[in-house]
Structure 1
Amino acid sequence: MPLTTQYTVRIATPAAGPQSRVRKQFNTLVKKLEAERVRLALWREELPKIRTLADDEYKPLASTFDAHRRRLLVQLDEACSDRTMSKTDREKLADMICTIARDLMQMDEEDELIKEIYNKHSGCDFDSEMDAEKALIRQMVGEATGVELGEDVDFSSPRAFLEAMQKKMEALEREAGQQQEQAAQAKPAKPVKLSAREARQQAEELKLKQSVRDIFRKLASALHPDRETDPAEHGRKTALMQRANAAYAANDLLGLLELQLEVEQIDQTGLDNLDDERIKQFNRMLGGQIDEIKFDILALGSAFSLDMGWDVGQHSTPKAMMRVLRADIAAMRANVNYIEADLDTFSDRKQLKAWLKGYRIVAKDPGYGEPWF
């Protein structure tokens, strides 16, 4: 989708009398749609760069940090068995061990060594805790959405869980559709009586589809490349026809109108002379296109945010997302340096005991250190 076009679609103010509200609204919606198209193109251009930076710098640092934490966990577990450690020292070490272990098992629930260390120092069984929590989540989701999740649902990350939910809902929709088809074939359906409002909405939808279809048919009639014998003109019309097909498939009214202007199928006078009823139909379509592009932008950013553990919708622009990612890379690099220093310090029992004197066990809020769900 182009960032800009030289064929700007606007409806001019009539020479006689003030411009109607629907005409002003048309121009406003076109400007908004153009702005959203630029935003979407920017996200599509910049997001691969952001992902590359995350893959090349953040994720290797995060993997190194987790590997160091695993080493630290084993080191602290061994320190607990040291007879020189007091009861208070062991309580503090157990608190540290459980906190680190819970964080690590968010990344990998199947690490048996971490699980064993956690169970030993927490007095609980990690698998039993997770089974109970997952059962509660399945129950809550079922009560809220009516979707019954099986025990095999993926809880490894928010993104994995949402994808599992989506697949389950799509399967239920397909099943419901099949049942409706079978019922319709078995028994003739009774005519559904629509309310006046539903009838108006249905009629309006048909008008909108017909408007787009009419524009596309005019373009297709003028641009069909098979009617051209000149190779250069055949190539030009083939490219234009591909754009028309893409715009029609996407229900892209603005794209079709821009093509009409480009191939001089309509001119500014033709746009200016559109009646208010037709413009009102166009306004509804433009509003729908704006909503669709906003959703596409949110979906693009949300997928990456879920992978990074960020709040969905937190970043309004790729530039803001890149800024946060660079800050996270710097913070993770510092974390790696800190934990490497801790590994060195805690390897000496005397230094560890001295450090533990300043450590305080803080009462945790419910859910502290729990997996994301």
Structure 2
Amino acid sequence: MTAARHAPVRIPAAHHGAPLGGQQKTFNHHIEQIARQRELLADWQQAIDAYRERHAREAVPLQRAYVALVAELVRHLDAQSSDKRLAKSERRALSEAIAGRLTMLIDAVPDEATRAGLQEIHDRHGGSDSDAGEAEGGDMAGQECDADMDSPEDFMRRLDEQMQARKEEAERQREAHRATRRRKPGARERKAREAAAQATQSVREIYRKLASQLHPDRETDPAERERKTALMQRVNQAYAANRLLDLLQLQLEIEQITPDHIAGLSEERLAHYNRVLAEQLKELQQEVREVQGHFLREFGLDPARSLKPANLMRELRAHLQIIEYENLQLRRELNALRADPAALKGWIQAERQQRKARHGDMDPWS
């Protein structure tokens, strides 16, 4: 018999229209919120599995085709870059376009030999200038550090100062630790600790009641022993994760308690339960956020996007359409350049216009 066949944990409304108490309302609210978060988590996991499967089946081949087309385009542009009919400014613009495309492309090329060939093209068209500048800057920084170390006296003085500073910091930390141990907790802190201890005790009591009824060791009937073993595994998992709701659901499932039993609990006991349920709800919410964040990072999506599980396939369809369009444009571009060598000047002019649109009216290649 599974938990799905039993009514969910909930405090029923009192007879004769009497309202629920404050802790009872909070209890029911936590139960509802936990159920919603579990449903949301399941929706995310199901939607991500479907997204991942279709992405691998449809998006990955399109992305590989895109990489291959860009590589083919830059090889063609590289071969045409020595055309004597090109002005000096046009060759600079062409080199910038080649290096720019390869900067974004090289790491996505799976084949090592192909990647090495593209890296040569990238470097030939000025793509390594910034790297060289960084290396030169690093060398100068190293020379400055070496100059600082010319004086042994200065070096020893700085070393002594650092060691003294570390000793003083260690002493401050020890004193702070001693002060913390000496400080007596305030009334609010004591109350919070007591409430946490009582909440833990409440969960432990439920666990012990379940374990005393479900422990399979003394069960002689094989079928009943197997049933209790499975139930006890669920009890242990719920207790280890501090999932009070699951423990209460198991109590209902084996008819150890009834909804009326929960309704009859004191406000104080319910307050202990509510503390545990609130923590369980926070953990579920955090798990949902982690699943979302991992999905967005895995597929390079904007982490600021507010997505819902039901919208993931729509997002993927839009992504597929964009890649298909980009691939179509690349094929047309490449075919046009191959069919008419004179079209290269027009292509470079279009690149310059796009560059000006991105960076204002200034043309760095003029």
TM-score with structure 2 length normalisation?
0.76
| Number of equivalences | 314
Letter in 2 for 1:206: A
CA RMSD of aligned residues (A): 3.2
Indicate the residue corresponding to 1:354 in structure 2. 346
Contact 2:239 2:247 in 1 (8 A): yes
Indicate the residue corresponding to 2:45 in structure 1. 44
Contact 1:68 1:340 in 2 (8 A): yes
Indicate the residue corresponding to 2:66 in structure 1. 65
- Within 2, Cα distance between the matches of 1:6 and 1:357? 72
Superimposed CA distance per residue, residues 131-176 of structure 1 (whole angstroms, 9 cap, x where no aligned partner): 7999xxxxxxxxxxxxxxxxxxxxxxxxxxxxxxxxxxxxxxxxxx
TM-superposed deviation, 1:124: 4.9
Letter in 2 for 1:303: H
Q: 1:283 to 1:365 in 2, by over 3 A?
A: farther
Q: 1:229 to 1:365 in 2, by over 3 A?
A: farther
TM-superposed deviation, 1:63: 1.8
Q: Which runs of 5+ in 2 are unaligned?
A: 139-169, 361-366
In terms of mean alpha carbon deviation, does 334-343 or 266-275 score higher? 334-343
1:106-185 superposed matches below 5 A: 107=108, 111-122=115-126, 124-128=128-132
Superimposed CA distance per residue, residues 216-259 of structure 1 (whole angstroms, 9 cap, x where no aligned partner): 11001111112221122112211211111111111111111111
TM-superposed deviation, 1:96: 2.0
Alignment pair present for 1:12 and 2:12:
yes
Indicate the residue corresponding to 2:151 in structure 1. none
- Within 1, Cα distance between the matches of 2:324 and 2:5? 44
Contact 2:3 2:249 in 1 (8 A): no
Indicate the residue corresponding to 1:160 in structure 2. none
Q: Which runs of 5+ in 1 are unaligned?
A: 135-178, 367-373
- Within 2, Cα distance between the matches of 1:298 and 1:217? 33
Contact 2:67 2:109 in 1 (8 A): no
1:277-356 superposed matches below 5 A: 277-312=268-303, 314-347=305-338, 348-356=340-348
Letter in 2 for 1:362: K
Alignment pair present for 1:260 and 2:251:
yes
Q: 1:194 to 1:363 in 2, by over 3 A?
A: farther
User: Could you say what secondary structure the match of 1:42 adopts?
Assistant: helix
Based on CA coordinates, which of the two structures has the bigger radius of gyration? Answer: 2
Contact 2:203 2:244 in 1 (8 A): yes
Contact 2:214 2:232 in 1 (8 A): yes
Contact 1:72 1:343 in 2 (8 A): yes
Letter in 1 for 2:274: N
Superimposed CA distance per residue, residues 303-323 of structure 1 (whole angstroms, 9 cap, x where no aligned partner): 222122102263533221222
Between the two proteins, what is the percent identity of the paired residues?
A: 34
Contact 2:51 2:313 in 1 (8 A): yes
Contact 2:6 2:252 in 1 (8 A): no
Superimposed CA distance per residue, residues 58-109 of structure 1 (whole angstroms, 9 cap, x where no aligned partner): 1221122112212212221222211122234324323322331222146469
Contact 1:298 1:313 in 2 (8 A): no
Superimposed CA distance per residue, residues 192-234 of structure 1 (whole angstroms, 9 cap, x where no aligned partner): 5323333222222211211111111100111111222112211
- Within 2, Cα distance between the matches of 1:304 and 1:251? 27
TM-score with structure 1 length normalisation?
0.74
- Within 1, Cα distance between the matches of 2:69 and 2:20? 68
- Within 2, Cα distance between the matches of 1:309 and 1:302? 10
In terms of mean alpha carbon deviation, does 233-242 or 109-118 score higher? 109-118
Indicate the residue corresponding to 1:172 in structure 2. none
Indicate the residue corresponding to 1:193 in structure 2. 184
- Within 2, Cα distance between the matches of 1:295 and 1:225? 35
Contact 2:12 2:263 in 1 (8 A): yes
Q: 1:126 to 1:116 in 2, by over 3 A?
A: farther
- Within 2, Cα distance between the matches of 1:113 and 1:195? 69
Higher helix share: 2
Q: 1:197 to 1:129 in 2, by over 3 A?
A: farther
Indicate the residue corresponding to 1:33 in structure 2. 34
In terms of mean alpha carbon deviation, does 268-277 or 115-124 score higher? 115-124
Q: 1:123 to 1:225 in 2, by over 3 A?
A: closer
Letter in 1 for 2:342: K
Alignment pair present for 1:216 and 2:207:
yes
Contact 1:305 1:312 in 2 (8 A): yes
Letter in 1 for 2:95: A
